[in-house]
Amino acid sequence: MKFIDDFNNPKDPLAVRVERFNRYLNKIRGTHDWMFQRAHGGGAPCSSQKQRGSGAGPRRHFIRLDSNDYLGLGRHPAIKRAFDEAFKLYGMGTDGSPLLSGYSQATLKLEHALAGLHHKEDAVVFASTYAANLAVLQGLLLTSDCVILDQAVHTSVRDGALLAGCQVVIFKHNDPGDLEKILKKTNPKKTLVCVDSVYSMRGCVADLVPLVALVKKSGAMMVVDEAHAVGVFGKKGEGRVCDLGLSASVNVITGSLGKALATHGGYVAADRSLCQFLRYRAHPYMFSSALPPTVSASALKSLEIMRSGALVQKLKTNIRSVREAMKKRGLAVNDDDTATIPVPVGDEVATMQSAARLRKKGILINPSIYPAVPKGRGILRMSISAQHSVDELSRAVMEIAGVGRKK
């Protein structure tokens, strides 16, 4: 849409871009309920929440489809206890970067557990998955190297490529044939291929088996981002790479502590030599404060609960139930059992208005517009949790069917 281009005019002075954006922001906030940066009051599970609206009205009950807490662990009592015990031992802060004074025994134990989850020798914890993806590309690649990215890969991976300053080549989304053509034109010993395991904005999975086989055959290295797969795929939430038996063939796995594990941070899992290389080469690790030990201890407990498998299976049941209900109502949905399900709407304003209408009906759902998705292809992104009840999900699908695009 034209208003998006207005904020990206390279001829404009910096101050003009800022002023123009804020003028538009103030205008759109006045036309319908604004859906971004809504401050909630906490204290509610991921499946429902009492929250004040934009005015001074009474507090209401909402069905939440806007949370990445896929297993509903965010307020688990055992995780709260782990946090409290770590706080008593370590305090809140980290004192410094992980290379200096900020590395704790709690984080060391977490890294060992994450390495085991992905059948790798070692793991490195970061302040976010965004930082983890930046670290892999910036730490590993030089300007003389090449990175090949799936067309739909997460922005953090694209930004990591920019930070590395290397050659960047894009292959068609989930297209092994296109990737094979590109690989034949590169030096595989200086090439890294990056894909997402789950593309959360599309609600689909990577075609990992042929993609991994191609990269392995070529001799290039491969990174798979499992941020939206851990806790969702595999019998005990180990993610798609392990579930498909591909761990030995994927060089680097990145993941999130802030989604199914419901804490904060991200990580890289790989062989020991590569992890050590990143610890001394990756700027997001070297020049950032370490993850607080309270968070590391909480994430370790989350991992333990996830590995019991019960919540993972409950989540899978909920995902299948929602997808079947959406199909019955004629909504466009694929067969990939991801925990995020996009509901296509259209242009940016219509997407925002649809989310606002659903909010008035008691459904909290995230509107995703450019630059999170291509221009004019806004979606409502449903996030399913193990904590949702059958009644909550049935009602949510019924309401969403009134605004979503049919097949």
Q: What tokens does 340 get?
A: 């995020």
**Can you state the angle between helices 208-218 and 176-183, rounded to 10 degrees?**
10
Give me the helices (H) in 258-376, please: 272-281, 283-286, 293-306, 310-328, 348-360
Residue 316, amino acid: K
What does DSSP assign to residue 367? E
SS in 3 state form for 100-111? CCCCCHHHHHHH
Residue 146, amino acid: C
Residue 29, amino acid: R
Other Cβ atoms less than 10 A from the Cβ of 30: the count is 8
Angle at the Cα of 149 from the Cα atoms of 146 and 155, rounded to 5 degrees: 115
- Rounded distance, CA 156 to CA 74, Å? 24
List residues with catalytic annotation.
200, 228, 259
- Rounded distance, CA 120 to CA 260, Å? 20
Residue 279, amino acid: R
**Strand-pair partners of 204:** 199
What does DSSP assign to residue 386? T
Q: What tokens does 141 get?
A: 């690649």
**206 contacts 336 by C-beta, under 8 angstroms:** no
- Rounded distance, CA 123 to CA 253, Å? 9
Residue 278, amino acid: L
Phi, psi of 109 (to 5 degrees): -65, -40
Residue 195, amino acid: V
- Rounded distance, CA 27 to CA 298, Å? 42
**383 contacts 340 by C-beta, under 8 angstroms:** yes
Cis peptide before 371 (omega within 30 of 0): yes
Contacts of 59 (CB under 8 A, 6+ apart): 50, 51, 52
Q: What tokens does 269 get?
A: 């899992």
